[in-house]
Structure 1
Amino acid sequence: MKKILKKLYTKTTLGRFLIQKGIDLNVFYWTRIVSDQKVIKRIYKESFGLPINLENPKTLNEKINWLKLNDRTPLHTICADKYAVRSYIEEKIGSKYLVPLFMHTKDPKEVNIKNLPNVPSIIKTNHDSGGGYFVNNKEELDIQSIQSNLKQRLQTNYYHKISREWQYKNIKPSIIVESLLQTMDGSIPMDYKLHCFNGKVRMIQVDIGRGTKEHYRNWYNTNWVREPYRWSSKKENGKYTDPASFEIPAPKTLNKMIELSHVLSKPFCYVRVDWYDVDGKLYFGELTFHHDSGYAPILPAVWDLTLGSELQLEKTKTL
């Protein structure tokens, strides 16, 4: 059947039209019609090969998916918004931890050579996930292409298209231009992701070589001792961000990261607090409520269950 459909799609105009319409209808059905719970059950089973237990979740990934459905507050939306979260950070720990902001706009055309700063910066949207445009020399940018891509991203609701993570649903899309953080030698700083359970840091994720084939992910506890599991994401080359064989030294700002993460995570059952250490100066990155959307296996699998047993689900609110 697949061979027949492929032949119809590639060889005939009518076949291509009808098959594409079928694909579009299927996408519309799964992104706009089907319930969040049904989508989560489907993707979870595709990811783990097992049905998810949402009635009595046990593993960390099951609990993360349970939280998608049962822990929904206006504060989640504010903190998932890369622009609005700045007010939360300023209120809780102070503006000195914020990455300098150059521009905030809803109009892609305002992102142009005239308005961009003359120092390295990053252009990104506030309402979705993924990287932005690194700007080292604005004169070399393909502005029209960037504006076109930003326009498309502003029209996309990340909740519907990808994740069914409720906190993204009501974010008003916009564009932000921030300072591009760089160390003294000109490199992109290491980022540290502190996973917090019930207001306390449980483990620390360190990504090395992001965006390259040599992307590794190490896991440490708060004493900077390596954790005995891997919780890896799939890279573009099909391989995974497994832990490196080498160690990464603890940052000098580790204790401050942990202290501030306790403050920022206090209202939430589970949240990942991201930080950048730039030559000893600490900058807040973002708050993430469902790491890898709860679809990345933790291996050995016993650790998914062990970590899940440590996360308590009592403190949740649903709109």
Structure 2
Amino acid sequence: MKKMRQAISGFYRETDLGYLMLKPFYKAYELGLRLVSDKFIIKNSFKKHMGYSIDLDNPLTLNEKINWLKLYERKELHTKVADKYKVRDYIERTIGGEYLIPLLFHTKDARDIKKKNLPDTEFIIKTNHNSSGGIIVRDKSKVKWKKVRKKLKRLMNENHYYSTREWQYKNIEPRIVVEKLLTYSDGSIPEDFKLHCFNGKLAFIMVDLGRHSDKRYRNIYDKEWNLLPCNWGRPNGDDVERPSNLEEMIQLAEKIAKDFIYVRVDFYSVRGKTYFGELTFHHASGLQKFFQKEWDYKFGKQLNIKKFDE
């Protein structure tokens, strides 16, 4: 079912025929979603993905608490820092501009994404308001720019909030950002280190492997870089060497996390230098199963959402 949804999404976003055929259905679906309450969508989605009903009055698991936060922790700051363009100002003020990936171009109009406006270097194009993954460009002379513009225009018209009820995405003004492509010395794309912070402190570190390939894996480490015997959404991959700048990433993540109950702070480590990736407030929208259910409860016990009321 998941592969079918991905195929339909790709058909809609990346082909003219798919866009023409499916656009009326997508618009009707979104209109229907607008008429339904946040709580109804969250309860229904949770039961569908997790296999049991969420208890919003007494959430115990990490996934339950993430969904509780979707409903009840809503600040203007969340909207600003979920925006992949505006978050840059927040990061510069919080930890320093030296941790930002160089910004090469940005625009609110997909028609501006053309060869002459972009640099003669490797870069990644993405929108600031969703998690589409981005378009990697190694050689701009080999890109079909008309096709890229069409895809970006369609992404710009989407609003992630209505399907997930992650409130921070509702009022982001769509924008296209072009950043320098980070690579290792062999040209490969670096894995990012996802630091999950509870109540301002690091809880665990997630490393996704093979993000730009068909086979994806995930390892979860504690703050001492011990591989934990749990899997959240994906199986383990090869062990990852402890990054030399681990302590720096932890310190930076906790400095950022002090403003939030739960946040995932993503960093890249390239040639010993730390780069900020993005902030995520509801990993996988709180709808991803642990292979070992007890870890959902273990992590859930560590996250104190009652601090929200203090």
Q: Same fold judged by TM-score > 0.5?
A: yes
Q: Secondary structure at the match of 2:264?
A: strand
Q: Measure the CA separation in 2 of the matches of 1:22 and 1:179.
A: 36
The alignment status of 1:53 with 2:33, answered yes or no, reads: no
1:311 to 291, 298, 303: 303
The 8 Å contact of residues 191 and 211 in structure 2, kept in 1 or not, is answered as: no
Give the 4+ runs in structure 1 shifted more than 3 A.
Answer: 20-26
Deviates more, 1:72-81 or 1:246-255: 246-255
Q: Secondary structure at the match of 2:208?
A: strand
* Cα distance, 1:156–1:25 mapped onto 2, change above 3 Å: closer
The alignment status of 1:115 with 2:117, answered yes or no, reads: yes
Matching of residues 152-231 of structure 1 within 5 Å:
152-160=154-162, 162-231=163-232
- Identity in percent: 48
Gaps of 5+ in 1: 1-19, 233-240
Post-superposition CA distance 1:4-58 (Å, at most 9, x none): xxxxxxxxxxxxxxxx999668724642111111001111101122110001111
Counterpart in the other structure of 2:262:
270
Q: Secondary structure at the match of 1:264?
A: helix
The 8 Å contact of residues 71 and 316 in structure 1, kept in 2 or not, is answered as: yes
Q: Secondary structure at the match of 1:262?
A: helix
2:102 to 66, 88, 100: 100
* Cα distance, 1:264–1:24 mapped onto 2, change above 3 Å: closer
Post-superposition CA distance 1:238-272 (Å, at most 9, x none): xxx2112x311100010000000000111100000
**Structure whose alpha-carbon radius of gyration is higher:** 1
The 8 Å contact of residues 102 and 178 in structure 1, kept in 2 or not, is answered as: yes
Counterpart in the other structure of 1:62:
64
Q: Measure the CA separation in 2 of the matches of 1:166 and 1:215.
A: 28
Cα-Cα RMSD? 1.7
Q: Measure the CA separation in 2 of the matches of 1:104 and 1:145.
A: 18
TM-score (norm 2): 0.89
Counterpart in the other structure of 2:271:
279
User: Structure 1 residue 302: deviation in Å?
Assistant: 1.3
Q: Measure the CA separation in 1 of the matches of 2:99 and 2:27.
A: 45
TM-score (norm 1): 0.87
Deviates more, 1:294-303 or 1:281-290: 294-303
Counterpart in the other structure of 1:242:
235
User: Structure 1 residue 315: deviation in Å?
Assistant: 3.3
